[in-house]
Amino acid sequence: MKALSRLFTGFTEGVAGLMMAAIFVTFILQITVRYVVGAEWFVSITGGAIDAADFGWTVELILVLWLWTIFWGNSFVVRDCDHVTFDIIYNSVGRRTRTVFAIIGALILVAALWSSIGPTYDRMKLLRLKSSATLPVKMLPIYSIYFVFLAAVGLRYLWRAVEVARHGVDREPFAPAMEDVAHQEDVK
């Protein structure tokens, strides 16, 4: 199971990295087109065969890739411990209360995320008909990553609720043991 988890993590990080690389390459293309294609020396070489207006699609491609990178990354790459949390109350209560907080919080997130799938799809159904301004694709596939995000993060928090219910909060990989927190405060 750990090997499968490492393989999945590597795959999802690789996809995120490829999307970031594609953003970078497209950005470099934009810079090149902006400062080279309109230059007199370039026009004299190419005879004006390349028009900078033909590269308007690069702006939209970067926006789409950025959207996908954000939702993909938050679905599969970013861990809970990477998020900023306000956990003063959570860390100040006992183990049982933290367990209840963790389960209730996770289930609230699952309910909120999953209950929004239907209404969100109802609003996005119009995007099936609308095409991108410069890319040869309909808008619904562009925004479909949001549904992946809702499903994946919901599953992750459902799994968290199950794990906390089975093992308690002390086994959470993203929460420091209270002894570690107390020791860090003693060191200060």
pLDDT along the chain (188 residues), means of 10: 91 97 97 89 87 90 96 92 82 91 95 96 86 87 94 95 90 51 48
For residues 58 and 122, state if they share a domain: no
For residues 70 and 118, state if they share a domain: no
According to the model, what pLDDT value does residue 10 have?
A: 95
Task: Please tell me what DSSP assigns to residue 137.
Answer: S
Q: Which among 78, 108, 132 is the end of a domain?
A: 78
State how many domains the chain has: 2
For residues 87 and 180, state if they share a domain: yes
CB 137 within 8 A of CB 127: no
For residues 70 and 95, state if they share a domain: no
Q: Which among 44, 78, 112 is the end of a domain?
A: 78
Domain that holds residue 26: 1-78
Partners of 131 in beta bridges? 138
For residues 128 and 163, state if they share a domain: yes
pTM over 0.85: no
According to the model, what pLDDT value does residue 173 have?
A: 55
According to the model, what pLDDT value does residue 177 have?
A: 45
For residues 44 and 137, state if they share a domain: no
Q: Which among 47, 78, 109 is the end of a domain?
A: 78
For residues 142 and 176, state if they share a domain: yes
Q: Strand, helix or coil at 99?
A: helix
For residues 25 and 56, state if they share a domain: yes
Q: Strand, helix or coil at 49?
A: coil
For residues 62 and 110, state if they share a domain: no
**E strands in 24-163:** none
According to the model, what pLDDT value does residue 51 have?
A: 85
For residues 57 and 90, state if they share a domain: no
Question: What residue type is 130 in one-letter code?
Answer: K
According to the model, what pLDDT value does residue 114 have?
A: 97
